[in-house]
Structure 1
């Protein structure tokens, strides 16, 4: 058992198959006390570190060879697909006039990356990344990915038999029954992090950043962005901003309601005026319907008074002889009626 931090998982072995300019199989033991990777420009230092990043860093956050690619667009630099293809130079295409990459592996091909971790107390895990590209495919979105963690030191050449025409996931799972595999990186990372002693994804990103430390502008940036936990005041500030926004919206709603009240307030008085007008209208209609009868009644009463006054002005003898006159008139009327009947009979 090693006396260098026993119980702490440390990288003990790196294995590559067809990764970048490393064609074929490469097996590199890593010293537990520390390992220095040195070499001239283009010797493969960044290629080796990027192989580790392909397993230890979420695909959406990995930046291959970041230290040497500051200022380049991501599609201009190294990518997972270019590593699988073995891109080794870019030159002008005589036919199209564009810049094209030259590949070591232009047909259907695959890459395998294996990282073995040992805690110096008898526990070993191997993380494996399997990547496959069909003939003609050169985009990251076209890469078939399969990740796994096996509780042993494994020779990654054992996976080549399952990569002849794509990734044979079913046979891999049945062959390495004690391993855990997934084509989803999040599932894979959630499984290996707690077993290797990583508390969160930030530890993975810190490792990735330290591998490209040339891109750091200061140590402050390293500590602030990758080592220190975000202070609770940030969350409190965000919550305060959200609450202020809620209060502002509530204030605008109150102002709007007040404006509605001011606009609608006159309607109460107008409603009362209309109700009074309706009552007056109904009363006027009733008066109109009753007017003829009242008018006739008043007219009759007036005529009676007028007749009574006229009668009172007649001479007394004439008033006394009135019954006699009426009898004479009645007699004359009867006679007239009788003469009419006689003439009719003759």
Structure 2
């Protein structure tokens, strides 16, 4: 049986430092924001697993349908000996790719959660004793230092997580990814597609209220880790479709005028009655737009796979040239104003 290996590229205190920086920056911005990665403590991860099973939430099912139907085609187009998965989590959907890659030697899951990587890695080795699993504790939005592994490599970024990045952030991310990929490597990118507004909004505002609880969990995380006194019941879960930018926004709307204290940051944050705290954007894509963003970062889109009903798309792309700057400065969306 191959050993499970884990490499940590983040300092032990990186998570705490990042949370402190994000909260300080986001809650002193106008409009106020918090990054969606802070939803995912143990309880938040459990809630998200429930969300993926809700009837309104189609992306996980749609992506799995594509992988189940087209994994062999993806495998034939890549001939990968190493699979690198960014934001791997439980590596559940990845098993469809693992089963389809006959020449696969090494799997490199990349995630900020060491516990998730360890649990998934040991499970995979038990199922596939011939597989070399080398987990990487890393923030995939920062420049990656990938371990040496056999090529060619397939880099998978699934779940449409790329939609949580603002346009300029997506450009920087894709360019940094292109910088570590070699000729013969392939990128598999999951993208949720633009569709009817009612379908999109329902996916983020389910009737059972699970997404609302998930959204408010970010306040619980800040309370626990930074000693804040957010009252989750003092905020309402709000979802809106931004047609101009073609993204969903999740927000927490203050039910009253209030002040929240965050002792660890020596910070007091005032909220007006009805003021919003944005906790997530989830951009939706069109095939032409994905092709443009990939090309600007130095990739050629070689294959495009749609789910039934055109709900979701998987893009297969190969490195074409060094990346260029995809967005002129005037077109970049500013996250917040200090």
TM-score range, shorter chain: under 0.3
Larger strand share, 1 or 2: 2
Superposition TM-score, scaled by structure 2 size: 0.21
Superposition TM-score, scaled by structure 1 size: 0.20
Q: Decide which structure has the larger Cα Rg and report it.
A: 1
Greater RCO between the two (CA within 8 Å, min separation 6)? 2
